[in-house]
């Protein structure tokens, strides 16, 4: 945000240009926290078509607006200005040609009170409550500038004196990122990343009771125990770009001005579309101002011209929907009826919904897959008192889900970007004209953004070994630098297609485990990066076995069948260092045909899926993120052979 040291004087945080400061922030927390322990990466959303980070204006700038607290770049915590920073960030990305498909992160100067005095709050985040396509409005976080938390020797004149704490690995940012992926403040070890205490240690801890209720699949099958890292990975598989697991569903959204409609509960701030092929459903979602607890009769409507041709559909006004859009092939409505308290921090409202498809010259009712309205809270990390983070209401997310085939009206749909019109209406006002928020029609793109990518080979590698990183999707014809963690290890150059290859030596002192590799473009105005990881092997790094009902103790692999899905469940690996599991499928009768179908379960010891046709057998292997363990033993006591298309190199260990 304009006015923060990152914009005014980035050298205060050890960088020469803004773009390096911003992407180094998520690079540090990825390198120190999320990759070593969760194998998940937060990364920049900058693309070739839009390489620069946007700089947003201070919504309440005391240099130009009377009554605004603090100095330029400060945010009054909990005030309308706080909401506006995320709203302005959403719209800034939209104006640059890129929708809101992941976590919005805003770098501010400081949080202040109404008198402009700095307060102990260092970061704040909205929590993504449900991980499925019925509630996909993007999570948001804000953190204070590194200038206040990253002590550097010999800072230039004008830089602030660091606070009593320091944050060399951007633990605060990592903490707030954890909230956006549904992690609460834990009740475990008091020096964990998600515990609101200082100093913060550089790791995530195992989850405990009550931490298995907001992950994908939703609802969670009974008995599905997850660590915090498993929760992060499963949440990432659902919809957050950049996690080193399965790709997200196709999603796009647009931001609308906050504060342009009163009462605020019909003030639309965001709307979007999700196409989730894995779950065979699509969802339209809205984000609006918080509902008063007594509010009823608020309606959210949409219409979609899927082929972008006004002559081929109908007019939703004939359905009584306040969404004028000529040529609409699909229209829907969600009515919020009443609020229902839940045993958690969020509040879920009861809803009714309707859907129509245009066919044969008229709209006809169509079945829905459900609707949802949920109040989202703002989670705070505070210094004082550290054990009592407060929670304030933030916004309400509303979603309507339906069969995704309803979107497949045009063969070129992916390329045409269908036109959507959305609205919110307060129909509880009977004596007056109903209040309507009707943003302009927008195009929502159903093609996922092509983020730059890179691959390291050979992988895993050993300390001192030479490896090559190749990348594509970068800006053509630019010099690049390669970082291992936070250290520059090589230089390079992109070709005319944005591809590059650089060779470097894995640092001899590199610890065993997974490490971040980043390729950045040297142009000061270019924030684009390619992010990947490389595993560094120790002398005796091995993975174990899952219980087999014989030699390895614990609950062996079992299978149950229901509603067309197979559910596999098993006990923990015999080695505590194994943090994840892989599933292989083979043709029954030939026990050498097993091929990988899931290279991660997010650390879960249960997985439901639609099996292959015919008779099949299944194997579950533990993994420590770098190598996989035992495929189990055959009846004669010999290790089963490695599978087809293995997820990782294999090195099985003898169980203790």
Q: What is the dihedral of CA 544, 549, 551, 554, to 10 degrees?
A: 60
Residue 233 and residue 257 in one domain:
no
Based on the domain organization, do 16 and 129 belong to the same domain?
yes
Higher pLDDT, 211 or 305: 305
Among residues of the chain, what percentage have pLDDT more than 90? 31
Residue with more model confidence, 79 or 476:
476
Cis peptide before 219 (omega within 30 of 0): yes
- Kind plus residue range of the DSSP H or E element containing 86: helix 80-95
Per-residue confidence at 217, pLDDT binned at 50, 70, 90? Answer: very low
SS3 564: coil
For residue 390, tell me if it sits in a domain.
yes
Q: Which of 137-146, 334-343, 383-392, 561-570 has the lowest mean pLDDT?
A: 383-392
Which of 425, 443, 461 finishes a domain? 443
Q: Would residue 459 count as lying in a domain?
A: yes
In a domain, 199, yes or no: yes
pLDDT tens per residue across span 371-380: 888 776 665 4
pLDDT class of 235 with cuts at 50, 70, 90 = low
Q: Say yes or no: 93 and 237 in one domain.
A: yes
Q: Is residue 302 part of a domain?
A: yes
Number of domains in the chain: 4
Q: What is the DSSP annotation of 178-201?
A: HHHTT----SS-TTSTTSS-SSPP
Return the ∠ at Cα 178 (arms to 534 and 447), rounded to 5°.
Answer: 70
Same domain, 196 and 234: yes
Evaluate the omega torsion of the peptide bond into residue 275 and state whether it is cis, within 30 degrees of 0.
no
Alpha-carbon Rg for the chain in angstroms: 25
The CA distance from 569 to 257, in Å, is 47
Q: What is the 3-state secondary structure (H, E, C) of 200-252?
A: CCCCCCCCCCCCCCCCCCCCCCCCCCCCHHHHHHHHHHHHCCCCCCCCCCEEE
| 169-193 residue pLDDT tens | 888 898 888 878 767 665 444 446 7
Write out the two tokens for 504.
Answer: 């470097």
Residue 37 is inside which H or E element, if any? helix 35-38
Q: Is the pLDDT of residue 136 over 50?
A: no
Residues 507 and 553 in one domain: no
Is 296 within 8 Å of 403 (Cβ atoms)?
Answer: no
Backbone φ and ψ for 86, nearest 5 degrees, come out as -70, -40
Q: What is the 3-state secondary structure (H, E, C) of 405-462?
A: HHHCCCCCHHHHCCEEEEEEEECCCCCCCCEEECCCCEECCCCCCCCCEEEEECCCEC
Region 101-110 average pLDDT: 87
Higher pLDDT, 125 or 616: 616
Question: Is 171 or 433 the better-scoring residue by pLDDT?
Answer: 171
Domain shared by 208 and 307, yes or no = no
Task: Name the domain boundary from 395, 420, 443.
Answer: 443
Please report whether residue 448 resides in a domain.
no
DSSP character at residue 510? P
Is residue 248 pLDDT above 70, yes or no?
Answer: no
| Nearest residue to 395 (alpha-carbon basis) of 300, 287, 273 | 287
Write the CATH number for 580: 2.60.40.10
CA dist 40 and 514 (Å) reads: 10
Q: pLDDT, tens digit, for every residue of 520-562?
A: 999 888 888 998 888 888 755 788 999 988 889 999 999 998 8
Q: How many CA atoms lie within 13 A of 478 on its CB side?
A: 25
Q: At what angle do helices 171-180 and 18-29 cross, to 10 degrees?
A: 70
Token readout for 83 is: 């909401």
The model's confidence at residue 209, banded by pLDDT at 50, 70 and 90, is very low
Residue 103 CA: distances (Å) to CA of 28, 151, 366: 17, 27, 33
Answer whether residue 62 is part of any domain.
yes
Q: Which domain holds residue 622?
A: 540-656
What is residue 558's predicted lDDT score, i.e. its pLDDT? 94
Answer whether residue 266 is part of any domain.
Answer: yes
pLDDT of residue 156: 81
The residue out of 226, 247, 268 marking a domain boundary is 247
Q: Give the H/E segment covering residue 270.
A: strand 268-276
Q: Return the SS3 of 83.
A: helix
pLDDT range class, residue 296, cuts 50, 70, 90: low
CA neighbor of 623 nearest in space, from 536, 516, 515, 541: 541
Of 42-46, 114-118, 223-227, 268-272, least confident by mean pLDDT is 223-227
DSSP-based helix, strand, coil % in the chain, nearest 5: 15, 35, 55
Look at the block and give the residue holding tokens 């498993």.
Answer: 230
Tell me, yes or no, whether 606 and 504 share the same domain.
no
pLDDT of residue 242: 39
Does 365 lie in the same domain as 333?
yes
Nearest to 342 by CA among 377, 381, 378: 377
Residues 80 and 44 in one domain: yes
For residue 58, the model assigns a pLDDT of: 95
**Nearest CA to 355 among 424, 280, 287, 301?**
301
**Dist CA 534 CA 462 (whole Å):** 10
Q: What mean pLDDT value characterizes the chain? A: 80
Q: Note whether 291 and 435 are same-domain residues.
A: yes
Structure token digits, residue 156: 């230039």
Confidence at residue 132, expressed as pLDDT on a 0 to 100 scale: 47
Instruction: List beta partners, residue 422.
Output: 302
Q: How far apart are CA 583 and CA 568, in angstroms?
A: 9
**149 and 273 belong to one structural domain:** no
Q: Three-state DSSP class for 589?
A: coil
Q: Rounded mean pLDDT of 75-94?
A: 88
pLDDT band at 353 (very low <50, low <70, confident <90, very high): very high
Q: What is the torsional sign of CA 163, 164, 170, 174?
A: negative
The residue whose two tokens read 């202040």 is 112
On whether both 504 and 616 belong to a single domain, the answer is no
- Residues 581-609: pLDDT tens digits? 999 999 998 888 998 888 888 788 888 88
């Amino acid at each position: 945000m304009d006015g923060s040291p990152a914009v005014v004087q980035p050298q205060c945080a050890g960088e020469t240009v803004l773009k390096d400061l911003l992407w180094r922030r998520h690079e540090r927390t990825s390198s120190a926290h999320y990759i070593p322990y969760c194998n998940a990466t937060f990364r920049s959303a900058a693309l070739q078509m839009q390489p620069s980070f946007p700089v947003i204006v201070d919504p309440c700038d005391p240099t130009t607006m009377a009554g605004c607290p603090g100095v330029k770049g400060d945010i009054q915590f909990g005030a309308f200005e706080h909401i506006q920073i995320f709203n302005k960030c959403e719209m800034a990305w939209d104006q640059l040609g890129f929708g809101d498909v992941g976590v919005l992160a805003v770098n501010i100067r400081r949080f202040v009170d109404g008198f402009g005095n700095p307060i102990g709050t260092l970061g704040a985040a909205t929590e993504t409550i449900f991980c499925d396509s019925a509630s996909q409005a993007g999570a948001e976080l804000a953190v204070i500038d590194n200038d206040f938390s990253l002590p550097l020797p010999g800072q230039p004149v004008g830089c602030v004196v660091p606070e009593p704490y320091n944050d060399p690995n951007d633990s605060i940012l990592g903490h707030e990122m954890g909230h956006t992926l549904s992690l609460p403040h834990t009740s475990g070890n008091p020096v964990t990343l998600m515990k609101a205490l200082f100093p913060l240690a550089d790791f995530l801890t195992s989850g405990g009771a009550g931490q298995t209720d907001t992950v994908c699949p939703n609802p969670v099958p009974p008995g599905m125990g997850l660590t915090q890292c498993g929760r992060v990975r499963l949440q990432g598989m659902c919809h957050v770009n950049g996690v080193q697991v399965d790709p997200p569903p196709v999603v796009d959204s647009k931001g609308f001005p906050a504060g342009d409609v009163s009462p605020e509960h019909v003030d639309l701030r965001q709307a979007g579309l999700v196409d989730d092929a894995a779950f065979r459903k699509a969802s339209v979602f809205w984000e609006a101002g918080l509902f008063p607890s007594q509010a009823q009769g608020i309606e959210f409507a949409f219409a979609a011209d899927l082929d972008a041709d006004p002559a081929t559909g109908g007019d939703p006004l004939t359905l009584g929907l306040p969404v004028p859009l000529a040529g609409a092939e699909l229209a829907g409505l969600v009515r919020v009826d009443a609020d229902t308290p839940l045993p958690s921090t969020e509040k879920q409202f009861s809803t009714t919904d309707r859907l129509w498809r245009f066919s044969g010259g008229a709209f006809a009712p169509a079945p829905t897959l459900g609707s949802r309205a949920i109040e989202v809270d703002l989670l705070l990390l505070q210094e004082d008192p550290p054990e009592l983070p407060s929670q304030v209401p933030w916004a309400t997310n509303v979603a309507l889900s339906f069969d995704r085939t309803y979107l497949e009206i045009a063969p070129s749909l992916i390329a045409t970007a269908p036109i959507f019109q959305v609205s919110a209406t307060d129909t509880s006002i009977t004596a007056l004209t109903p209040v309507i928020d009707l943003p302009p029609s927008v195009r929502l793109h159903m093609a996922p953004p092509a983020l730059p990518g890179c691959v390291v080979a050979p992988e895993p590698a050993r300390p001192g070994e030479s490896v090559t990183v190749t990348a594509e999707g970068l800006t053509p014809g630019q010099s690049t630098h390669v970082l291992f963690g936070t250290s520059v290890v090589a230089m390079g150059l992109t070709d005319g297609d944005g591809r590059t290859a650089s060779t470097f030596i894995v640092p001899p002192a590199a610890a065993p485990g997974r490490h971040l590799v980043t390729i950045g473009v040297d142009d000061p105005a270019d924030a684009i990066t390619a992010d990947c990881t490389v595993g560094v092997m120790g002398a005796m790094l091995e993975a174990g076995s899952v219980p087999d009902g014989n030699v390895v103790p614990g609950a062996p692999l079992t299978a149950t069948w229901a509603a067309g899905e197979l559910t596999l469940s098993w006990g923990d690996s015999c080695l505590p260092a194994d943090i994840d599991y892989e599933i292989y499928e083979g043709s029954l009768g030939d026990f050498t045909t097993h091929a990988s179908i899931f290279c991660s379960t997010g650390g879960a010891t249960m997985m439901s899926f639609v099996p292959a046709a015919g008779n099949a057998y299944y194997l579950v292997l533990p993994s420590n993120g770098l190598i996989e363990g035992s495929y189990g033993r055959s009846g004669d006591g010999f290790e089963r052979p490695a599978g087809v298309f293995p997820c990782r190199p294999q090195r099985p260990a003898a169980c203790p």
